[in-house]
Amino acid sequence: MIAPLASPPLASIQGAIEFIFTPQTSNVTGGKTVGGINQVLELLVNQLELTVLALALSMIVALPIGLYLGHRGVGELFATVIGNAGRAIPELALIAFMAALIGVGVANLTIALAVLGIPPLLTNSFVGIHQVDRSAVDAARGMGMTEFEILRKVEIPLAIPTLFAGIRSATIAIVATATIAPIAGVLTLGDFIINQNVYGDDGVLAGAILVALLALTLEFGLATLQRRLTSKGLKLSPA
Amino acid sequence: MRSEFTRLRAGIALLLALALSLGVVACGSSSDNNSTSGSSEEVATGSSLVTNPKNAKISLTIGSKNFPEQEILGEIYAQALKAVGYKVKTDLNLGSETVAHEAVKNGTISGYPEYASTALTSFFGFEPEEVPANANAAYELAHDEFETEGLVAFPPTPFASANAVGTTKKFAEEEGLKTVSDLKGKSESMTLYGSPECRQRIDCLAGLEKYYGLKFKAFHPVDIGLRYTVLEKGQADLSILFTTDPQLAAEKDKFVILEDDKHVFPAGNVIFVTKLSTFEKAGHDYESTILQVQTGLTLEVMQELDARVELEKQTPKEAAAAYLKSAGYVR
């Protein structure tokens, strides 16, 4: 058995960077150029928009339930089972299912992507609140705080690291998966990756680089926000 | 299930009879200016494939692109070549034509089926209107272009596949649509759905805009698998379909395609592309087997095979095996 000849690399980092900043020719567009910074920004904005919408929806659904159950200390099984089962839902199948149910477009994708964000948010908000030192909660209650005040002034501040870990997981899962949105009606950076015929191999690589950069940027941004919100007493070292 | 097999078999028998009577003529015309003339005249259609022990030394890897019709074709060729004694592996689901083209050039696969029109527009820089409507003329062009890359293209299948603007029969009747030109002045209020890559392709949305001067209310990219769903859901007014789609045959009173009167969507017959060195090494049975088993692949047969995979959820392997058996190539 003779090994196949090594093929030349299909894409190069240099080519991908050129693709990001300067429009390139394409074999199949009849002369129109593709890529370039304007198209990159347009797709980037779409991906961010979709991410923010889906994240907002998943927070609206998951946080109140997680915080309430954590505060009451009930429903641990519910929170963890939903959390774990939710992670097993195949996203592609879900998008296709939603497409048949409500059609393609922003609404479909927002709901389908929010489903990805709910499990980490639900589990982490429950665990974060539930693990707060009960003596701190008792002290707050002894001082005459209402249940809502206890949640807002004591439990949530103490749960910030765990809560944010959930928000960060949810964000990364949503923004990364929003890459496949072009198969359901919304053009995101995944357009570069899915349509190798149009954008060429450099375009595919450029898309992958952009999505990775976007995810990392969001991760660092949220980490910074988390440090600012974390109470001084919980920090290991001064920020 | 049983009755469909019978119907298919009857259809194929009829087509084979036709193919046999036309065979000499077709072979004559395709042998004018290509190096494969010697072998194509000996193609015997309809008879079953015979194992040749000499072929056992030759390993072939048959590839295909990543959608059902391609996988069915890949399986048909692979199973037929196995039947004549070659050692055959498959590498189906290769992705887009660029990936498949690269794979055959660098030897990862021995060959794969490609649409002549796609080859001309995607690989060799032809504009859609430069692609000949005649299957043999398109094949000759593609054959000569492939030759410069050290590749050999075998003569085309009877069926051709093309993109098409489709809609529901109801909508076409309400709006009075028969051809794509009929959309002029109406398309501004209509939504068009198509694969994500359609948007920028000159043989798709870009061509509809350029050659027909059409503007749509919106173009929405969707997965190819949803091209009928969006019509059924009433979301799309128009959707990009394929002429070989089984739904067009099975649901004639539901979906229609608009005639492409300015030829923006070139029709492509399938040609099998392989490397010259593989072709020379593999011997006579390589080409003759492929040509023999593709003679039965008319539009109706291809639609039927697509239907079995896309609608009845058979695997491409099962559909290909059933085709080879009912056409009498394999016992």
Establish if B263 belongs to a structural domain.
Answer: no
Say whether A103 and B230 touch across the interface (CB within 8 A).
Answer: yes
**Domain presence at residue B262:** no
Q: Rounded to a whole number, what is the distance in Å from the CA of A96 to chain B's nearest CA?
A: 8
Structural domain for B142, as ranges: 2-160+268-326
Residues B321 and B173 in one domain: no
Total domain count for chain B?
Answer: 2
From A10, A26, A182, residue closest to B196, measured CB to CB: A182
Contact B225 A197 (CB under 8 A): no
pTM: 0.73
- pLDDT one digit per residue (tens) for chain A, 239 residues: 444 444 455 678 899 999 999 998 887 787 788 999 999 999 999 999 999 999 999 999 999 999 999 999 898 888 888 888 887 888 888 888 887 777 788 998 999 999 999 999 999 999 999 999 999 999 999 999 999 999 999 999 999 999 999 999 999 999 999 999 998 989 999 999 988 878 988 999 999 999 999 999 999 999 999 999 888 877 765 54
CB-based contact A99 B229, cutoff 8 Å: yes
Q: Which CATH number belongs to the domain containing residue B29 in this structure?
A: 3.40.190.10
The answer to whether residue B252 sits within a structural domain is yes
Distance from the Cα of A46 to chain B's closest Cα (Å) equals 14
The residue extents of the domains of chain A are 53-231
Q: Which residues of A touch B96 (CB under 8 A)?
A: 196-197
**How close B97 comes to chain A (CA, Å)?**
7
Task: Check if the interface score ipTM surpasses 0.85.
Answer: no
| Whether A22 contacts A35, CB under 8 Å | yes
Query: SS3 string of chain B?
Result: CHHHHHHHHHHHHHHHHHHHHHHHHHHHHHCCCCCCHHHHCCCCCCCCCCCCHHHHHCEEEEECCCCHHHHHHHHHHHHHHHHCCCEEEEECCCCCHHHHHHHHHCCCCCEEEEEHHHHHHHHCCCCHHHCCCCHHHHHHHHHHHHHCCCEEECCCCCCEECEEEEEEHHHHHHHCCCEHHHHCCCHHHCEEEECHHHHHCCCCHHHHHHHCCCCCCEEEEECHHHCCHHHHCCCCCEEEEECCCHHHHHCCCCEEECECCCCCCCCEEEEEEEEHHHHHHHCHHHHHHHHHHHCCCCHHHHHHHHHHHHCCCCCHHHHHHHHHHHCCCCC
pLDDT of residue B164: 92
Residue B297 belongs to a domain: yes
| Per-residue pLDDT tens over the stretch A47-65 | 999 999 999 999 999 999 9
Which tokens sit at B166? 């489709």
Which of B237, B257, B277 marks a domain boundary? B257
User: Is A32 within 8 Å of B200 when comparing Cβ atoms?
Assistant: yes
The residue behind tokens 């090994």 is A3
Of A178, A184, A209, A201, the residue nearest A34 (C-alpha): A201
Residue B193 lies in a domain: yes
Count interface pairs A-B at CB distance under 8 A: 97
Residue B212 lies in a domain: yes
Q: What is the CATH number for B182? A: 3.40.190.120
Computed over every residue of chain A, the mean pLDDT equals 89
Q: What is the CATH number of domain A53-231?
A: 1.10.3720.10
pLDDT digit string, tens, across residues B113-146: 999 998 998 889 888 778 887 889 999 999 999 9
Residues B288 and B154 in one domain: yes
In a domain, B331, yes or no: no
Q: Nearest CA of chain B to the CA of A93: how many Å?
A: 12
Write down which residue in B257, B288, B307 finishes a domain.
Answer: B257
